[in-house]
Structure 1
């Protein structure tokens, strides 16, 4: 079973909540810069203003998302406990290129979920506190975090973004432009069945955890890849963007029968609230899509997944 996206790092080292008027925070999940590209191409600069880059010793290793003025969220397998080596870049578009809207801030605190042991298990989520609060701009905005009661239905088209490789085992391009791709969600039960069949294992084997969600097409072709770990999987609900998942792991990149696996964000509401009690969680009912066709019509798009 290939769960070793984390080796990439080791080799390198509804509706949005209504905020009270007296708070300086903008409404989450509402990009000021419109536009996105279908099919896995270059993102629009500023189109995903919550996207952040995690750097280790000055080198990009993972993605993540801004969830408040001073907190970002990423995958547990992206982090260790060496605060001095980590920094967070926000408002970025091209890594290695010109980023007039970008800023880089140090990390004050790293909180790795206590259940995390290895990639593919529970708890692949980390909160990192910035050394200083960030100033929100049109290019730096927070994403909405769903309450534990929010259910993301199979077939819902959502988006994953990142600066990872374009193919399994590939190298990062330079300049590395932020990419986005749309794929439909797959619940953990159906996703587990796909992986069990792919690995020729017992039907009763648990590979995909209840605290995970998958996204992708049956035939593959569009996915996240090495270097995208920790990045956001977001869904638009009534005009507001909500983060459903965190890029975690998967078998290869964009392989048929092996959709990308993501940490299910609403499963960790109580844990997040323990450390960031001021965050307002979005509680919204998401109706299932009219169709749940996971076959896709164009499988020549972006191939990306996890570190």
Structure 2
């Protein structure tokens, strides 16, 4: 056993910051106001009559939920707001970009189906700032264990059935992960659905408490469920659906992002994914593109030391 240290030079500029690392530290029920700039990958996807969330994954692409998009509505009628803190209130750090196109996974037909994931291309690329940054995506090798505490963010309602206020501060809530099999068992409790009928599909992950009380809700759909690993934030899920909001034995259901690595790559060639080794900080495979520095404008050397055990 001993300490292994390695130094990684980072020269990220405002156009290429590390993914998953906010410059500021600091559908939601039971949550609290986020700190301004704390979740710089969070976006709002809107039409004249709808609100969804999403996450920025590079300069021109956003990840969201398929059920947020209607094929009968022209892509140009969707707008994506980035760098925003209070929804309904413009600030200097925020920008709004028209959508060029959206692509829904072909498996998705209706809410509850597999494939509740969508890729959204912006009409023009955005410039990364302290308030606009990409989230890191996990590749198919990454597993998120049950009980891991992760965060969901959004501008959705704070009570089921409640209307959105005209100005709504970004909300955050931390809840533990629940694997899809355990989540399926929970959804069958006091349910008229046969135990042989699958409610939670294998491309999902859940997050919440058996007793309820904290959850995503209407308006949060498409938003990110993110987990921290060694100072870097990784997107585990996409807000998909739930039975009500924050009900007992009905945790929020999320599309599992690593299950769709190959599909995402088939549309976006330059998006990068992190592996289990990169997240854990293996000295042989240190992450070269995400989570290395909070400084947007200066080169820096990040010294990482880990207590390693060798066979």
Q: TM-score range by the shorter chain?
A: 0.7 to 0.9
Partner Cα distance (2:12, 2:216) in 1: 39
| TM-score, with structure 1 as normaliser | 0.83
Partner Cα distance (2:32, 2:241) in 1: 21
SS at match of 1:191: helix
SS at match of 1:199: coil
1:218 maps to which residue?
210
2:121 maps to which residue?
129
SS at match of 1:63: strand
Which consecutive unaligned segments of at least 5 residues does structure 1 have? 1-17, 288-307
2:20 maps to which residue?
29
Which consecutive unaligned segments of at least 5 residues does structure 2 have? 1-7, 281-311
Matched, 1:40 2:31: yes
119, 126, 144: which is aligned to 2:136?
144
Post-superposition offset of 1:202: 2.8
1:184 maps to which residue?
176
1:61 maps to which residue?
51
Q: How large is the Cα RMSD of the aligned pairs? A: 1.8
Post-superposition offset of 1:99: 2.0
Q: Is the 8 A contact 1:19 1:27 kept in 2?
A: no
Matched, 1:72 2:62: yes
Larger RCO: 1 or 2 (CA < 8 Å, sep 6+): 2
Post-superposition offset of 1:205: 1.7
Superposition pairs of residues 236-275 of structure 1, within 5 angstroms: 236-275=228-267
The higher radius of gyration belongs to 2
1:161 maps to which residue?
153
**Residue deviations 1:131-163 (CA, integer Å, cap 9, x gap):** 011000000000000001100000000000000
Post-superposition offset of 1:20: 8.9
Q: Is the 8 A contact 1:196 1:205 kept in 2?
A: no
